[in-house]
Amino acid sequence: MDRTVVLITGCSSGIGLHLALRLASDPSQSFKVYATLRDLRAQGPLWEAARARGCPPGSLETLQLDVRDADSVAAARARVTEGRVDVLVCNAGRGLLGPLEVHTAGAVGSVLDVNVTGTVRTLQAFLPDMKRRRSGRILVTGSMGGLMGLPFNAVYCASKFAIEGLCESLAVLLPPFGVHVSLIECGPVRTAFLEKQEGVPGGALDGADAETRVLFSCYQRHLERIFREAAQDPEEVTEVFLAALRAPRPALRYFSTESFLPLAHLRLADPSGCSYVAAMHRAVFADEPAEEETASDRGDPGLCAPPGAPQ
């Protein structure tokens, strides 16, 4: 029986590493996993964990793949000995935290290059063969930051909003080719993602005004509380990927947690955006639970109010 060939980007740590291990060690032994890394010098933890999990021989291989480099992506594709990829997992990503005005052009470009252009490069490399074979699954690591704007994550959210549009557009187009696209929408996950972000504020924060620095401190406390109380383990998230991979009729979106869905629904319930802005502002900067209320309900002159109906 032919095994399902899976190629995953961004496997040096976090979700990518754990998903590669989960599939390679699956009791069905039905997966051949190509775990790709930008720098193969970082593959040690993956192989150490694979030995600990008892991954069968031949179930896991590592490849160098840098989504920022089209030649690197093409070289990785050429090294897939089966000559096909049945499931492509676009997981490589990068964050950028802090006030927008202190980000360097290089940091902004790096995040957009990895998160958006890098995903496009990867899809361009593997999608044509899937369409020719009229078979394939594409799983993309999404984020709550692609469904709603988060303070001090403007560029990261912009990149993830772009991924939502990219995947939704492809999901409409590709079913006649037998290719299905699914986003795995993740909330906070206990990985090294935060530590690996571009532009983690240090001295650069000095370039922001005093009030913004105070608000950023509030946001940091909020983020710490969210990760302490609501963050998921990567193993839990990988099961959502597996469910999407195995679904007979895969959905466009799967959610690793329902904790942020009320806010996502709030964005849709009030198209003006005012209800969401008021609720998120209160949740982050007053550190109170977000409730379905509008700025006009709270009488906050600093936040927007929905426009009145036309007369």
Is 294 labelled as part of a ligand binding site? no
Is 33 labelled as part of a ligand binding site? yes
Contacts of 307 (CB under 8 A, 6+ apart): 272
State how far the Cα of 12 lies from the Cα of 234, in Å rounded to an integer. 13
Is 160 labelled as part of a ligand binding site? yes
State how far the Cα of 182 lies from the Cα of 84, in Å rounded to an integer. 19
Is 13 labelled as part of a ligand binding site? yes
Is 29 labelled as part of a ligand binding site? yes
State how far the Cα of 274 lies from the Cα of 208, in Å rounded to an integer. 26
Q: Tokens 């190509």 belong to which residue?
A: 34
Phi then psi for residue 145, to 5 deg, are -75, -5
Is 15 labelled as part of a ligand binding site? yes
The number of residues making up the chain comes to 311
Is 259 labelled as part of a ligand binding site? no
Q: Going along 173-294, which residue ranges are E strands?
A: 179-186, 253-255
| Structure tokens that stand for 89 in this block | 């997992």
Buried b (16+ CB within 10 A) or exposed e, 3-19: ebbbbbbbbbbbbbbbb
Is 46 labelled as part of a ligand binding site? no
Is 88 labelled as part of a ligand binding site? no
Is 197 labelled as part of a ligand binding site? no
Is 38 labelled as part of a ligand binding site? yes
Is 35 labelled as part of a ligand binding site? yes
Is 12 labelled as part of a ligand binding site? yes
156 counts as catalytic: yes
Per annotation, catalytic residue among 156, 219, 254, 276: 156
Which of 188, 140, 187 is CA-nearest to residue 165?
A: 140
| Structure tokens that stand for 5 in this block | 């060939």
Is 31 labelled as part of a ligand binding site? yes
Q: Going along the chain, which residue ranges are E strands?
A: 4-8, 31-37, 60-64, 87-90, 136-143, 179-186, 253-255
* Catalytic residue numbers, as ranges: 156
Which residues participate in the annotated binding site for NADP(+)? 10-38, 66, 160
Which residues participate in the annotated binding site for substrate? 143
Which residues participate in the annotated binding site? 10-38, 66, 143, 160
